[in-house]
Amino acid sequence: MNIDKSIIQRCKKNDKNAFAELLKFYQNYLFKLCFSYVQSEQHALDLMQEIYIKLFKNISKYDDKYPFHPWIRRVAVNTCINEKRKHNIVCIPLDSGDHDIGIEEQLAAVEDTQQEVEKREMALIIKQHIDSLPEKLRMAVILRYYEDLSYEEISEIMNIPLGTVKTDLYRAKNALKDRLYNTVNIH
């Protein structure tokens, strides 16, 4: 997902049409990302507005030597995390599918093979186990494995030392491994 660099250059020159193109290009991505943090359509739209304002004010700080997508993702993730802290929003869904349809309806609508259904069931079990982790561990897992951020980026976003990030991820993986082992043996 990359946008034409000429649009970004025009945005840096305060071209409102270029900025509109930029926002349209990233609209769906930003909505899904915001929704995954707040689990509310209206709240996600409000967060998007806040992100748009930050982008407009700070686009001049973007360095053209680097890809744009990670920069916009960082602005968006930081905004979502700050909002989560401000309102103490606990639930962070990990699915990236249609937010108007529940998982049961998605499974019923899809006529997949038994193997696909089993994969989806396992994904749901994993999501439930991740959701049950303590908030600090859950956030580290989401940022690392769902947002694909580096340890350094996670350290910066969560405002914790790099060693703590590694320890938290290690603990989270062990906890998930134990929980998944117990779940598989029960079923």
Q: How far is CA 8 from CA 74, 97, 114, 140, in A?
A: 16, 29, 46, 31
Domains and CATH numbers, the chain: 1-91 (1.10.1740.10), 95-187 (1.10.10.10)
In 3D, which of 133, 112, 114 has the Cα closest to residue 177? 133
Structure tokens at 150: 């580096």
User: Secondary structure of the chain: what % helix, strand, coil (to 5)?
Assistant: 75, 0, 25
Looking at residue 186, its pLDDT comes to 56
In 3D, which of 81, 72, 94 has the Cα closest to residue 28? 72
pLDDT tens-digit map of 24-69 = 999 999 998 888 878 789 999 999 999 999 999 999 998 888 888 8
Measured distance CA(21)–CA(5) in Å, rounded: 12
pLDDT tens-digit map of 162-184 = 999 999 999 999 998 888 887 76
